Amino acid sequence: MKQNSTPSKPRDWLFAQLPDKQIGLAEAIERKQRNPLNICLREDAISPTDPNPDAPACYVSRNGGVIQLRSWGDVSVNAVTHELLHLERYIENSIPQLTPKSSSEERWKITSDIENTLEHLSIVPLEREYGFDPAPYWRATFKSNWDNLLERDFNEFALKKNAMLGYTTLPLAEDAQLEAQVSKILDEIGFLEEAVEFRSKMNRLKPEKAKQLAYVCKSLGISRGDVELQRYFPQNWAKKYPLPNS
């Protein structure tokens, strides 16, 4: 449903394009947060290295879930479903989320990258329940990411972060050839053994998100004093917690 200008009721406009099951998911989130979802446009600039520049995004505000679209043009039901699954975990399930204590944009980017990676381990397998196969999307995304990994000017921290997190989510692509190629890259840069252990640990700790986050921070050298956990509760917005011991 093409729309050249902002619809008068963005939530209703978006819901009109979603299947019943996705609407049910969205309405369950709204019941938990006691407010309608906020649908708006993304204001962040498109990164030249983003493999999916038109993808929507989401976050949790003081009033509940926000889904940000790139435009009021054609809506990708798959992409919106992905964002709804993120919001379901944060709002309906009160899953802990890693945030920096600093307002630094760079710190927020780091914690967001970590969050996205760990959440994808849980939500991407659920996407099949909503009528689509996520593997081709992630195969294309990961291929683009890994093709560009060594060409980009990463510092040591960023290279290790992207290598560890990227290898952890690689099985979502369901591509043995890509797995072999990535393993070769990691071996060449000296991260393969550590990446294998990191992925194994992430999978073992999957039921305990807070412990996952603590292990990630320890592995990447992020000080426990620089970050904290938050959980969303509709009565008092978000409660803050320290990281557990890893």
In this prediction, residues 118-147 reach a mean pLDDT of 95
In this prediction, residues 67-78 reach a mean pLDDT of 93
Mean pLDDT of the chain: 92
pLDDT tens, residue by residue, 172-220: 999 999 999 999 999 999 999 999 999 999 999 999 999 999 999 999 9
User: Lowest-pLDDT range, 32-36, 137-141, 152-156, 165-169?
Assistant: 152-156
* CA-wise closest residue to 241 among 219, 220, 215, 211: 211
Q: Looking at this protein, which amino acid is placed at residue 70?
A: R
Quickly state the pLDDT bin for 154 (edges 50, 70, 90). Answer: confident
Residue for token digits 């999916």?
52
Model pLDDT, residue 49: 62
Judgement on whether residues 101 and 65 belong to the same structural domain of the protein: no
Largest Cα–Cα distance of the chain, in whole Å? 54
- Provide the residue range defining the domain that includes 152: 97-246
Among the candidates 32, 58, 93, a domain finishes at 93
How many domains does the chain contain in total? 2
Model pLDDT, residue 3: 58
Judgement on whether residues 117 and 203 belong to the same structural domain of the protein: yes
Q: Which two tokens stand for residue 155?
A: 């510092």
pLDDT tens, residue by residue, 76-130: 999 999 999 999 999 999 999 999 999 899 999 999 999 999 999 999 999 999 9
Judgement on whether residues 25 and 72 belong to the same structural domain of the protein: yes
In this prediction, residues 223-241 reach a mean pLDDT of 88
Among the candidates 93, 120, 140, a domain finishes at 93
Complete edge-to-edge strand list for the sheet that includes strand 97-100: 97-100, 227-233, 237-241
Q: Which two tokens stand for residue 116?
A: 């996205």
R_g (Cα) of the chain, nearest Å: 18
Judgement on whether residues 120 and 145 belong to the same structural domain of the protein: yes
Judgement on whether residues 129 and 222 belong to the same structural domain of the protein: yes
Quickly state the pLDDT bin for 53 (edges 50, 70, 90). Answer: confident
Judgement on whether residues 53 and 126 belong to the same structural domain of the protein: no
Task: List CB contacts of 217: < 8 A, sequence separation 6 or more.
Answer: 98, 223, 224, 227, 243, 246
List phi, psi (to 5°) of 41. -100, 150
Among the candidates 41, 62, 93, a domain finishes at 93
Q: Is the pLDDT of residue 233 over 80?
A: yes
Q: Is the pLDDT of residue 1 over 60?
A: no
Judgement on whether residues 87 and 131 belong to the same structural domain of the protein: no
Q: Looking at this protein, which amino acid is placed at residue 52?
A: N
Supply the pTM of this predicted model: 0.93
Q: Is 30 in contact with 93 (CB distance < 8 Å)?
A: no
Model pLDDT, residue 48: 59
Q: Which two tokens stand for residue 217?
A: 């921070």
Q: Which two tokens stand for residue 121?
A: 């381990």
Judgement on whether residues 222 and 140 belong to the same structural domain of the protein: yes
How far apart are the C-alpha atoms of 125 and 85, rounded to whole Å?
11
Q: What share of the chain is helix, strand, coil (3-state, %, to 5)?
A: 55, 15, 30
Judgement on whether residues 119 and 63 belong to the same structural domain of the protein: no
Q: Which residues in the chain belong to E strands, given as ranges?
A: 38-41, 57-61, 64-69, 97-100, 227-233, 237-241
Model pLDDT, residue 44: 78
Quickly state the pLDDT bin for 168 (edges 50, 70, 90). Answer: very high
Judgement on whether residues 198 and 164 belong to the same structural domain of the protein: yes
Quickly state the pLDDT bin for 15 (edges 50, 70, 90). Answer: very high
Judgement on whether residues 73 and 126 belong to the same structural domain of the protein: no
Model pLDDT, residue 114: 97
Q: Is the pLDDT of residue 132 over 70?
A: yes
Judgement on whether residues 113 and 48 belong to the same structural domain of the protein: no
Helix/strand number for the chain, H first, E second: 9, 6
